[in-house]
Amino acid sequence: MLPYSAPFWHAGTHETSAVLAIRRDLVKMYAVAVRLHELLLGWNKAPVIIKKDLPGQLANRILQAVIREATNIVHMGLATPEDVDTAIKMGMAMRFPVWGPLEHIDAVGLDLVLSVQRDVLPGLNNDATPVDCLEDLVERGQLGYKTGNGFYDWHVKDMQALAALRDQFIIETLCTLKAIGAAEKAGSG
């Protein structure tokens, strides 16, 4: 196995600006990670260096926490799958292309975030296993789009239209971010 990998390299690096440069050996290979990072920046990518090799790496670990709580919200009857997805798509996800979660908490104040977390975290799902409703769907053979049913009825919901909309949004967002970056460079020069 190579000391560094770009796990999304084979899954459409040309379609996204994020590429992960994984630093597996902190001492011997750091210079390679830094050089790879510089090279990818030159290709207008947004590389990150991961300091430990853990299951899920970086972005997928964060995504799995969101998925766990989203499925738990549906399981406990707090909201429907549609409402969970709408709340994420039209709420927190809207800011992520330019405003990460740690930038967000620094901006609103760590004291406020700490107060909110003291109230909210005790009620969040922190199980080390998937939520029962996800296990139940899989056991019933409801695997999502590939079987026609999951949290949604994919005989009614149009995957091709949704995927096209997603792709269009990503392309337009990347163009906007590129324009913002160019304007910032011009303004600082």
The pLDDT tens digits of the residues spanning 83-108 come to 999 999 999 999 988 889 999 999 99
User: For residue range 148-181, what is the model confidence (pLDDT) as tens digits?
Assistant: 999 999 999 999 999 999 999 989 988 898 888 7
What's the rounded Cα separation, in Å, for the pair 158 and 11? 23
pLDDT-above-70 percentage for the chain: 84
The SS3 of residue 21 is: strand
What's the rounded Cα separation, in Å, for the pair 183 and 186? 5
The SS3 of residue 150 is: coil
* 95 and 104 Cβ atoms separated by less than 8 Å: yes
User: For residue range 105-157, what is the model confidence (pLDDT) as tens digits?
Assistant: 999 999 999 999 999 999 999 999 999 999 999 999 999 999 999 999 999 99
pLDDT at position 28: 61
CA-wise closest residue to 151 among 88, 72, 50: 72
pLDDT reading at 12 higher than 60: no
pLDDT reading at 72 higher than 50: yes
- Mean of all residue pLDDT scores within the chain: 84
Residue 20: strand pairing partners: 48
Domain positions in the chain: 9-50, 59-129
pLDDT at position 77: 97
* 32 and 67 Cβ atoms separated by less than 8 Å: no
pTM of the model: 0.80
Domain at 59-129: CATH code: 1.10.1040.10
Alpha helices in the chain (DSSP H): 30-42, 59-75, 81-87, 93-95, 101-108, 110-120, 132-139, 159-188
